[in-house]
Amino acid sequence: MSVNVEKRTEPPGEADHATRAWELKERIRSEEGVLRQRRGFFVDAYRRSTTHLLVENDEIVAFASVRRDGYVLFLAVHPDHRGRGHAERLIADVAADHRSVTCHARTTNTGALGFYEHLGFEVVRRIDDYYEDGGDAYYLKLGGESLRERLSGFVGR
């Protein structure tokens, strides 16, 4: 049985999938203690960003919301769909559309930090008390052009 993962993109101003993206984000928050944004902040940021979605059987399996400047606001992959290259594909889509790709990650989120390092993101700086709950963050930036080319291989998936 082949699995068909459909890519969808919601431009700024549209939020057809915002509720389901919120539900996925909240599942991850509940299970893993990350992605702790408040609903109002999330919905507002989602509406202002371009959101790349991967959908399987009408279920969101992954999404990335990105600002016009290439800053990744949210990146989430359903726990049951990890290890399939979905996050890499989403970051590759962002990298294909932007000259610079940046994000923040909690200093304690070893899974996210390992993922970003694997893709070639570099820590630009540490920011103490970045999150509302007092958590610290790293500001990360995707490295040079060769890494962008490496990521472009995921776009065709």
- For the chain, domains (ranges, CATH) are 6-155 (3.40.630.30)
Whether residue 113 is predicted with pLDDT greater than 70 in this model: the reply is yes
Q: What is the pLDDT of residues 8-42, one digit of tens each?
A: 999 999 989 999 998 998 888 888 776 667 888 88
pLDDT value for 150 = 56
pTM for this predicted structure:
0.86
144: its two tokens: 């040079």
Q: Which residues contact 67 (CB under 8 A, 6 or more apart)?
A: 48, 49, 73
Strand order in the sheet with 121-127: 102-106, 137-142, 121-127
Mean pLDDT score, 125-150: 82
Mean pLDDT score, 112-140: 93
- Residue identified by tokens 């990146």 is 75
Strand order in the sheet with 59-66: 6-10, 50-56, 59-66, 72-77
Q: What is the pLDDT of residues 65-112, one digit of tens each?
A: 999 999 999 999 999 998 999 999 999 999 998 989 999 999 999 989
pLDDT value for 157 = 46
pLDDT value for 93 = 92
**What DSSP string describes 21-72?**
HHHHHHHHHHHHS-----HHHHHHHHHHSEEEEEEETTEEEEEEEE-TTSBE
pLDDT value for 32 = 77
pLDDT value for 30 = 83
Whether residue 143 is predicted with pLDDT greater than 80 in this model: the reply is no
Whether residue 152 is predicted with pLDDT greater than 70 in this model: the reply is no
Q: Rounded to whole angstroms, how far apart are CA atoms 9 and 44? A: 17
18: its two tokens: 């915002």
Of 138, 17, 157, nearest to 92 by C-alpha is 157
Is the model more confident about 133 or about 19?
19
